[in-house]
Structure 1
Amino acid sequence: MKLATYLDGSRDGQLVVVSRDLSQAHFANGIATRLQQVLDDWAFMAPQLEELSISLNHGRCRHAFAFNPAQCMAPLPRAYGWTVPEDGGRRASDALLGPHAPLRLLADPVPCAARYAVLHGDVPRGIDALSARDAIRLLLLAAESPTHTAFAPVAVSPDELGAAWQNGRVMLPVLAMHNGRREGGTDKPEPGADFGRLLSDLAHPRALRAGSLVGATTAVLVPAMAAGDAVRFEVKDEAGHSIFGAIEQDVVLEGTATE
């Protein structure tokens, strides 16, 4: 299934289920209004959301509407934590942006790194890597600069990746466009970190609670962005279909007005 969070004037937004082809969406408020509620009660709520997802993908939802990524916040706008174990450890979880929010810089140029991330359920202390994979709930695509972290509009369950999800790893390249030109990356990416191993290592000294984000190492890097630039990150399957939707950001200096 694919989930997103729509802007509604609140800090946590409104949970929606999104069709596999990212064309349609349906509010999930009959099941849950926020993604954190689902993470807290996954065993009960996830099957209901999966049923709604199946109905949506088969065109059986009367109240479906056209999905609009520009209306999306980060899938989990207020995560309890944001950790990249292989790239500096824990960091603040505020300033988690949606896919089309402007990337505001204090100075330029600065780099921007795209990476995969997971949202997990409760992870007990001392868990092994194989068991920790079972705690992975959703996969996300993030783009991180020194001042902000933005997320692609849709978080997906691992089964949505099919054979591209192998041994706790995402086996697809991240496509980066900087001012309309391909930036770095490869069509055959090196296997990234096993998210099960990352969760196991994090849970070695203490248990982890549901609602935290864990990121992998950089999948692709845009080394220098300046005001006036535009950046886009996206992941596509072998058939060319977008998995998470795209992160599309205009780069502006802090204090610059935007529409």
Structure 2
Amino acid sequence: MKLASLKSGRDGKLVVVSRDLTRAVDAGFIASTLQSALDDWAKTAPALDALSQQLNAGECAGTFDFDPKACAAPLPRAYHWADGSAYVTHVELVRKARGADLPESFWSDPLVYMGASDAFIGPRDDIPVQSEDWGIDFEAEVVVITDDVPAGISSEQARDHIMLIGLVNDVSLRNLIPGELGKQFGFYQSKPWTSFSPVLATPDELGDAWDGARLHLPLRASLNGKLIGSPNAGVDMTFDFPTLIAHCAKSRSLMAGTVIGSGTVSNVGSADGSCCLAEVRCLETIRDGEPKTPFMSFGDRVEIEMRDSDGSPLFGAIDQVVTRYYPPGSQAQ
């Protein structure tokens, strides 16, 4: 089944979406929000799945056209958002571009940071940023949503705790990152809004592309209509999702609705392009001695999507425009 949240209050209104993303039906009589559904997933999932089957069979009353513009993030507020760096080839490339070696431990111990989950934004919402000087970049990623995960779980056990799968644009402000990392205390100001695909899907919707740990399909990222890259998310993923979940749950349990990100999808050699501008710039630096591609500017449009083997969209597209943000008390120009 595929689930979305229409904009309504802070936590959205849960709807079930048809497999082809054209129709939807209100699921409020089962659970008012996706978080409430996840809180009681053993009970709500079968009911939501039955509604999904009725919708896809054309046997459901009260359906309406599905409009991604009306969508909030499927989980507008999540209790926990942990983003990994599962594609170590991406980290290796970034470090190589600045002349830094990659510690051997990076290949055996995942990098993970805890991001801001109090206000995710929808797939068609603008990306508001105060200054272009902050180095505005997109990052196309795959994410999974868990149910309650016990502390100390093994990676094999973690497979059974992946309930939903989707995409995110994990926006980064690249020019703010060095100062923050220099303090050796992680990201904060350099990680603003994170946006989601219109829908999240249960693993069974993905067929053979989902092997229980990785999603084996290209992830397309375009800027102003130009394809930047379409690397396969199932290739060169050093740490799969069960490994990331087990890593995050090593010393604490994870609550239902935890969002685990893959980090920027990247393939060795980047033959199929990149899922962020930082990687493009790193490749230019290695080849030419300096980067030539600028980071995003106000008015730029980024699109992120994944399609199945037949070319049909799986989660709907993230389609956003970068806009200038004016703080309270400032005067718009």
Correspondence for 1:241 among 266, 289, 312: 312
Alignment check: 8 A CA contact 2:83 2:260 kept: yes
Pairing of 1:99-118 with structure 2 (within 5 A): 99-108=123-132, 109-118=135-144
Matched, 1:37 2:63: no
Alignment check: 8 A CA contact 1:164 1:170 kept: yes
Give the TM-score normalised by structure 2. 0.74
Query: Which residue number in structure 2 is paired with residue 142 of structure 1?
Result: 168
Query: Which residue number in structure 1 is paired with residue 251 of structure 2?
Result: 205
Query: Which residue number in structure 1 is paired with residue 283 of structure 2?
Result: none
Give unmatched runs, 5+ long, in structure 2: 86-110, 173-191, 266-274, 279-294
Structure 1 residues 44 and 59, CA gap change in structure 2 (3 angstroms) = same
Instruction: State, as a whole percentage, how many aligned pairs show the same letter.
Output: 42
Match for 1:239: what amino acid? D
SS at match of 2:229: coil
Match for 1:110: what amino acid? I
Offset at residue 84 of structure 1 (A) = 1.0
Which structure features the higher share of helix residues? 2
Alignment check: 8 A CA contact 1:168 1:194 kept: yes
Following the alignment from structure 1 to structure 2, what is the Cα–Cα distance between the partners of residues 128 and 188?
Answer: 23
For the aligned residue pairs, the C-alpha RMSD in angstroms reads 1.6
Deviations 1:61-105 (A, max 9, x none): 121111010000000001001111335511221231000100111
Structure 1 residues 59 and 222, CA gap change in structure 2 (3 angstroms) = farther
Deviations 1:202-255 (A, max 9, x none): 111111111211101212113421101111000000000000000000111112
Offset at residue 177 of structure 1 (A) = 1.1
Correspondence for 2:117 among 79, 82, 93: 93
SS at match of 2:303: strand
Matched, 1:157 2:202: yes
Query: Which residue number in structure 1 is paired with residue 7 of structure 2?
Result: 7
Following the alignment from structure 1 to structure 2, what is the Cα–Cα distance between the partners of residues 186 and 216?
Answer: 13
Following the alignment from structure 2 to structure 1, what is the Cα–Cα distance between the partners of residues 17 and 121?
Answer: 19
Q: Which moved more, 1:86-95 or 1:28-37?
A: 86-95
Q: Which has the larger radius of gyration?
A: 2
Following the alignment from structure 2 to structure 1, what is the Cα–Cα distance between the partners of residues 159 and 301?
Answer: 35
Offset at residue 191 of structure 1 (A) = 4.2
SS at match of 2:263: coil
Which structure features the higher share of strand residues? 1
Give the TM-score normalised by structure 1. 0.94
Pairing of 1:36-55 with structure 2 (within 5 A): 36-55=35-54
Correspondence for 1:222 among 249, 261, 277: 277
Alignment check: 8 A CA contact 2:123 2:198 kept: yes
Following the alignment from structure 1 to structure 2, what is the Cα–Cα distance between the partners of residues 123 and 88?
Answer: 17
Offset at residue 196 of structure 1 (A) = 0.7
Query: Which residue number in structure 1 is paired with residue 153 of structure 2?
Result: 127
Match for 1:33: what amino acid? S
Q: Which moved more, 1:107-116 or 1:234-243?
A: 107-116
Give unmatched runs, 5+ long, in structure 1: none
Matched, 1:175 2:225: no
